[in-house]
Amino acid sequence: MKFGKEFASQMVPEWQEAYMNYNFLKNLLKDIMIYRRQQATSPENLLPPPSKATTLKRRVSLFRAFSGLTSRYSNKIPTKDKEDEVILVNAMHTADEEQGEHGRSYRTVFLRSSEDGGEYELIFFRRLDDEFNKVVNFYKAKVEEVVKHAEELNLQMDAFIALRIKVSNPAAASPFITQTNTGYPLEVIHEEHQEKRSDKVNEYQMASLDILKHIKINSSKSDLHFSKKELGDAKEKLKQAFIEFHEKLRFLKNYVFLNQLAFSKIMKKYNKITSRNASDAYLQMVEESYLGKSDEVNKLLERVESAFIKHFCNGNRHQGMSTLKPNVKRKRHRDTFFVGCFFGCSLALVVAIIVNVHARDLLKSRGRTQYMDTIFPLYSLFGFLVLHILMYAGNVYYWTCYRVNYSFIFGFKPGTELGYTEILLLSSGLSVLTLAAVLSNLEMELEPNTQSYQTLTELLPLGLVIVVILITVCPFNIFYRANRFFLLVCLWHCICAPFYAITLPDFFLADQFTSQVQLLRNLQFYVCYYGWGDFKKRNADTCKDKGVFHVITIVIAVVPYWIRALQCIRRFWGGHDSTQALNALKYFSTIVAVVARTIHARQKGVVLQIIAGSTSGVATIFQTYWDIVMDWGLLCRNSENPWLRDKLILPNTSIYFIAMVLNVILRLAWMQTVLNFTEAPFLHRNALIAIIACLEIIRRGIWNFFRLENEHLNNVGKFRAVRSVPLPFSHENEDKNL
């Protein structure tokens, strides 16, 4: 792999703009190379063939003493003649400290600008200096940020240790000992600081308990009760804070290494193209700069690791380091193998079902209508689910290709996020089970020997639903338990929307349910079909004739939008964001439109048709504007990319316009209900409803990609690469000098 691609693959996605622009500098070097080639091939610059003297000189050089491979004679630095100097690097002091390290800005003086083509090299060094100053400034700002964060963690650990002493062994507390910050950040949790022996008594000194008088619990802003629950909660929060802080420090360490390597590579490439020796002087400046000499990050890494192992892992270094540095998830070939097997089996089962239906002319049989009214809704539920998972797998694939950090955005634990291969494995496995059940259902009905088992035939879909539910809630560590529990937690937050702080995974999942209204209605049909015993005679008249069933149908369609509206209200109430109030109003307008369309589908009439059409039109305009402008961040008039946004991930801008048009078209799927186009000569009503539902799932899949792209770019704009973890304690005095 070329260095440029390797460099890009190892970047922190949210910090991509802060890295050295290697490709841009490489293009400048290409311009220099092209110019030199043009000059070399011009007739006046063609060189004569080498003379015999040159050849003789080369031969003589072959008989010189071997200089060695280990640089034995390199103790003395060779002196460089002034005639060989190419560049001079100066550290210019500036009035604004934001310009660089301690108010420094590095500038390179190119000494050969008067030579032919020197203007190209002059431009290269100017851009090189700009990139280097950008890297140094960013790194210095981040170091200052982590040092301040370390000081805050230092105070938090003071309070945590004091609380632990108070809770675990109150009698052993030493109120006369006072101890505050007296050195590097996190020194209070350094082993030497905590286990320093007293000169007078042969015992370990303990932390002061005076700090407990000045802190409160962040979750309730109340005074401490010195309970074990408070201690446990504080420990968990601080443990997570240390993990995130350690990850940020590792990002910074890797940032320094990659940029230093990039400057080394680009200077070597410059030497090769120009046949000059300018890399030594420039790389020496890089080593002597803040980027090369600063060791705050390495010191903090050592202290954080030492403190984490001691206070959160009982001194077990292996356990501590495995928690701080989780293993990188690797792709398993067996997943790819089983995906191929399952998809092959799915195709074979589809062919078998088509052949079976065609050979026995089932589409024209008398039981066709009865089958479509009962069995088809039962199995179409799994079709909706498989299609949604496939769309999510496609999203993950393209997020990975374009380096959208979906794992960080969703908040997955490192190493537990599912790749597109694992998601395809789930969807293909579920499709095999569903298609096998459909084929078995057909065979059991058509074969004379199995017609007496009609009850067992009808129970196949219910058994499949029970299997899926049991796998989802299974407590054992199988079938991606971490992801299943993450899904269940988000689902619970959606159900209890007003009572939990709303995070992105919560409202993202709720948005998925707004596109799966038909799946929820099919679940309702399961309850009615099997609960009232209609499966014994394959007749859904009981469900169709019950007025309660139709009322619940409306409620089921409203519930996902109601949850989203409550989430928006909660976010507005918690953050006072006025846009969330408008977002809630959007979902309320959708609720009105859904209710009007559902009533119109049952009771035809011109008045109801006008109400359904007008409410649906208003809701569609509202939703389309919100999708494109608010969720996707597009349609910016003064953008660098006309009617898009300044930063785009996809290289082809036409894809964004195609997505916007598709979003509008698929949003208009409700028109088939308002225009009474609920049946077709060649399609059953339930089949047409399923097709419309599939189109909505596809629209949601497209929406998912651009929604997360916009979220990723927001994180990039703010350089947010790690999660913000709430700390357990708050300090009463503002200066924090406890």
Instruction: Tell whether 420 and 468 lie within a shared domain.
Output: yes
Q: Which amino acid is at 669?
A: A
Instruction: Tell whether 270 and 247 lie within a shared domain.
Output: yes
Instruction: Tell whether 389 and 307 lie within a shared domain.
Output: no
pLDDT value at 463 more than 60: yes
Instruction: Tell whether 263 and 389 lie within a shared domain.
Output: no
> Quick check: is 723 in a domain?
no
> Quick check: is 52 in a domain?
no
> Quick check: is 165 in a domain?
yes
Q: Could you tell me the residue range of the domain that residue 16 belongs to? A: 1-42+84-325
Q: Where is mean pLDDT largest: 155-159, 442-446, 514-518, 731-735?
A: 514-518
DSSP-derived secondary structure for 642-662: TTS-S--SSS-THHHHHHHHH
Confidence grade of residue 98 (pLDDT, cut at 50, 70, 90) = very low
> Quick check: is 608 in a domain?
yes
Cα-flanking dihedrals φ and ψ of residue 490, to 5°?
-65, -40
> Quick check: is 68 in a domain?
no
Count the domains in the chain: 2
Instruction: Tell whether 320 and 338 lie within a shared domain.
Output: no
**CA–CA dist 648, 656 (Å, integer):** 9
pLDDT value at 380 more than 90: yes
Instruction: Tell whether 225 and 155 lie within a shared domain.
Output: yes
Instruction: Tell whether 207 and 252 lie within a shared domain.
Output: yes
> Quick check: is 58 in a domain?
no
Instruction: Tell whether 254 and 142 lie within a shared domain.
Output: yes
**Buried/exposed code over 192-224 (b: 16+ C-beta within 10 A; e: otherwise):** ebbeeeeeeeeeeebbbbbbbebbbbeeeeeeb
Higher-pLDDT residue of 138 and 182 is: 138
> Quick check: is 102 in a domain?
yes
Give the pLDDT confidence of 9-24 residue by residue, as tens digits: 899 998 999 999 999 9
Neighbours of 524 (CB within 10 A): 18
Residue percentage of the chain with pLDDT more than 70: 83
**CA–CA dist 353, 349 (Å, integer):** 6
DSSP-derived secondary structure for 442-474: HHHHHSGGGGGGHHHHHHHHHHHHHHHHHHHH-
Last residue of a domain, one of 285, 309, 325: 325
CA 599 to chain centre: 41
**CA–CA dist 373, 685 (Å, integer):** 9
**CA–CA dist 686, 381 (Å, integer):** 12
Instruction: Tell whether 298 and 439 lie within a shared domain.
Output: no
Of 30-44, 194-208, 561-575, 576-590, the poorest mean pLDDT is in 194-208
> Quick check: is 63 in a domain?
no
pLDDT of 87 reads 82
Three-class SS state of 417: coil
Last residue of a domain, one of 279, 296, 325: 325
Instruction: Tell whether 303 and 387 lie within a shared domain.
Output: no
Instruction: Tell whether 317 and 341 lie within a shared domain.
Output: no
**CA–CA dist 610, 613 (Å, integer):** 5
pLDDT of 481 reads 94
Task: Dig out the tokens for 668 from the structure.
Answer: 């208009």
Instruction: Tell whether 415 and 347 lie within a shared domain.
Output: yes
Q: Where is mean pLDDT largest: 321-335, 529-543, 581-595, 603-617?
A: 581-595
pLDDT value at 381 more than 70: yes
